[in-house]
Amino acid sequence: MISEDAFTAVERRAVMGLASLYCLRMLGLFMVLPLFAVYAEALAGATVASIGLALGAYGLTQAVLQVPLGWLSDQIGRKPVIVGGLTLLILGSVVAALADTLTWLAIGRLLQGSGAIASATMALAADYTRVEQRTKASAVIGASIGVSFALALVLGPVLAAWGGLSRVFETTAILGGLGLLVVVFWLPPTPEISEAGRSHIADRERLGEALWGRGLGALYGSIFCLHLLLMAAFTAIPSVMIHEVALPPEQHAWMYLMTLMGALPGVAILVRKHRHLADPRGLIAVAILLTVMGLVVALWSVSVWTLGVGLVLFFAGFTALETILPALVSIFAPATLRGTAMGIFSSAQFLGVFAGGALGGNALYWGGYEGLVMAVLGLTLIWLVGLWRFSHAPVSVA
């Protein structure tokens, strides 16, 4: 439930600052998605499979370091960890911008991902806010991620048309620098660790419950599969636009903008529906099928119109799931395990990013678009079967 009480002045400043930080950071990371597969082809050592691995590389270090850096933030403070993570993001972006081989580009992506600050940032949001305002703060921050995703798909192709892949990574480094300014000069003084933060530390012995509590395992698996699909999609869709649909790179931004706008009504319907359902599995399954159907239509497109229809369906399902899944984690997790559960959720998400890049690249290498479609359909079947073990009711609504 979202509290109807207003934020205090400190809460408002903190939440808006953290939302801005998320938006700046994720904007840079998302901008490479619609163009990486096309522009990386010009680098030495590039193959379809290796491009997919490089695209998903940042997800590997994100997944591995998310929980350790969250733990470190408990020990030395949130802001030092966030500042260090943003510094690594900037360093990785500079390395990627200067890369002239795919190997160095992958190293840059790994460095970008080593700034895994999502858990520390969400823990800081909990520290700044009262318990009854925490869901509202998470909703604001989650909305900023959605905004950054939409902006990135439009701005990325524009920047790449202006200065190639290097210009996109240079912009990411600048955005990381702006994020540092937000942390140092905008965020209020760090409060004492809140009760939410203390319970997060105290409940590590209940890690098994956070991992496998009723319904949570299916949610972690769902966010893994969703981001796997996203990364697999963008190993192929830019190439489909150029080679199958004959849409030049400078027009990709318009295609993404129009299809994202076309997806918004569907997103609104799905998100509104889920709030009134005791058992969300059916709605999640519908959103999964929309996402997968849209991806398959887009991959087999031979015209701009079929590509547009596929992308509208894909973005509608993906964006709805991106909104619904974290909200369900906050409901299904016991109140004293929400911080831990969100850290695991973030790790599963970024592991999906890496797996999607690897799967997409290798599926294209060995089987072309048909191979990728078969891999996606097989994953979807496993996903839906696993989802149907989802519990009907949350463990706690506290």
Instruction: For the chain, give every domain's residue range.
Output: 9-387
Q: What is the DSSP letter of 276?
A: T
Give CA–CA dist 234/101, Å, rounded.
20
User: What does the pLDDT read at residue 378?
Assistant: 95
Indicate the angle between helix axes 134-181 and 118-128, nearest 10 degrees. 120
User: What does the pLDDT read at residue 119?
Assistant: 80
Give CA–CA dist 272/298, Å, rounded.
26
User: What does the pLDDT read at residue 207?
Assistant: 56
Q: Is the alpha carbon torsion for 375, 380, 385, 386 positive or negative?
A: positive
Q: Helix or strand or coil: residue 44?
A: strand
User: What does the pLDDT read at residue 367?
Assistant: 93
Statement: 9-387 belongs to CATH 1.20.1250.20: yes
pTM assigned to the model: 0.84
Main-chain dihedrals φ then ψ at residue 277, nearest 5 degrees: -110, 130
10-residue mean pLDDT profile of the chain (398 residues): values are 72 94 90 90 89 92 87 86 96 96 95 90 84 76 83 91 92 96 93 53 53 76 95 93 90 92 92 76 93 96 95 94 82 67 82 93 92 95 86 45
H/E element, 308: helix 304-332
Q: What is the DSSP letter of 177?
A: H
Q: Helix or strand or coil: residue 133?
A: helix
Burial of 303 from C-beta contacts in 10 A (0-12 / 13-18 / 19+)? exposed
Mention every residue, 6+ apart, whose C-beta is less than 8 A from residue 143. Answer: 19
User: What does the pLDDT read at residue 1?
Assistant: 47
User: What does the pLDDT read at residue 199?
Assistant: 46
Tokens 């299916």 correspond to 218
Nearest to 13 by CA among 198, 182, 192: 182
Cα Rg of the chain, angstroms: 20
Give CA–CA dist 34/55, Å, rounded.
11
Give CA–CA dist 396/190, Å, rounded.
29
Cβ–Cβ under 8 Å, residues 357 and 57: yes
For the beta carbon of residue 378, count every other beta carbon within 10 angstroms.
10
And the tokens for 176?
Answer: 């990381």
Question: In the chain, what is the greatest distance between 2 CA atoms, to the nearest angstrom?
Answer: 58
